[in-house]
A and B are shown apart, each in its own frame.
Chain A
């Protein structure tokens, strides 16, 4: 993975211009660098690869349909991921399993402090004792157990490495709110992944019990 990517021959602004003139191939070129980011945003919200792919496609088509209205000063990737998150949330609203989650309660300020529930020292780091795919599954389960609004921030900041500012813009919340949600997301992940009382992770069954659904 050491080969640097060749520079784009055509700028994004130029691609957008061509798409607005009806060039569909240019649209694929525009979206291609962000395929993974779009998919990750969708699957982290929906927890289901098939739904996530459908939503990713819908988001891309929506961007295509509204491209003429896209302001050139904004970042295309931010806009595209924003559309994706909104589409994923809309899909969640339709899914009856998620009726208990307040998808729309996005703008309220956070009240109260989050207190860590576990003070055990991580004498072993899970990555050292679990096999790679067990770890990945444990992490995904822990992630899926987070409330949606915390999960979104964790994905955008700690997985997609977007800035606080970009995350705030995508989610339509203040930067302070992003930081508060990120705090809660990280502390809850920590509690979900905390090792047992003796501080050790064991391979084989009950480490998955530790990913406590909240």
Chain B
């Protein structure tokens, strides 16, 4: 079964949706066929997946110490 080719530009447009498993099956098949033969797009895909994982795991914003207490006291004072 042959799939219709897809351009790199179209790949880049859909790559974020692809990573989120949010593309229609036919488009998904076309993209997967493309990744098999295009090293650049495969690199972009891997990098994008890595970024999503890094951002999810690695960006930690700690609540400043005492944040809750200060907020609570200010609410009480209002």
Q: Are A57 and B74 in contact (CB under 8 A)?
A: yes
Stretch from A9-17, A94-102, A180-188 contacting the other chain = A180-188
Kindly identify, within residues 7 to 25 of chain B, every residue whose CB is under 8 Å from any CB belonging to chain A: 9, 12-13, 15-17, 19, 22
Q: Are B60 and A136 in contact (CB under 8 A)?
A: yes
Q: Are B43 and A119 in contact (CB under 8 A)?
A: yes
Chain A residues with Cβ below 8 Å from B75 are 24, 27-28, 31, 60-61, 64
Q: Are B16 and A140 in contact (CB under 8 A)?
A: no
Chain A interface main SS type: helix
Kindly identify, within residues 146 to 187 of chain A, every residue whose CB is under 8 Å from any CB belonging to chain B: 154, 158-159, 161, 179, 182-183, 186-187
Q: Are A139 and B76 in contact (CB under 8 A)?
A: no
A-B pair number, CB within 8 angstroms: 119
What string of 1s and 0s marks CB contacts (under 8 Å) between B48-75 and chain A?
1011101111111101100110111011
User: In this complex, which of B9, B54, B60 has the most chain A Cβ atoms within 10 angstroms of its Cβ?
Assistant: B54
Q: Are A186 and B58 in contact (CB under 8 A)?
A: no
Chain A, Cβ-Cβ closest to B42: A121
Q: Are A135 and B63 in contact (CB under 8 A)?
A: no
* Interface residue A56 (Cβ < 8 Å from any Cβ of B): yes
A interface with B by C-beta (< 8 Å): 24-25, 27-28, 31-32, 35-36, 39-40, 43-44, 49, 53, 56-57, 60-61, 64, 113-116, 118-122, 125-127, 132, 135-136, 139-140, 143, 154, 158-159, 161, 179, 182-183, 186-187, 189-190, 193-194
- 7 tightest A-B CB contacts, nearest first: A183-B16, A190-B47, A119-B40, A158-B55, A121-B43, A189-B51, A190-B51
10 sample A-B contacts, Cβ–Cβ < 8 Å, listed by A number: A28-B72, A36-B63, A43-B61, A44-B61, A53-B70, A113-B13, A125-B54, A136-B58, A158-B56, A186-B48
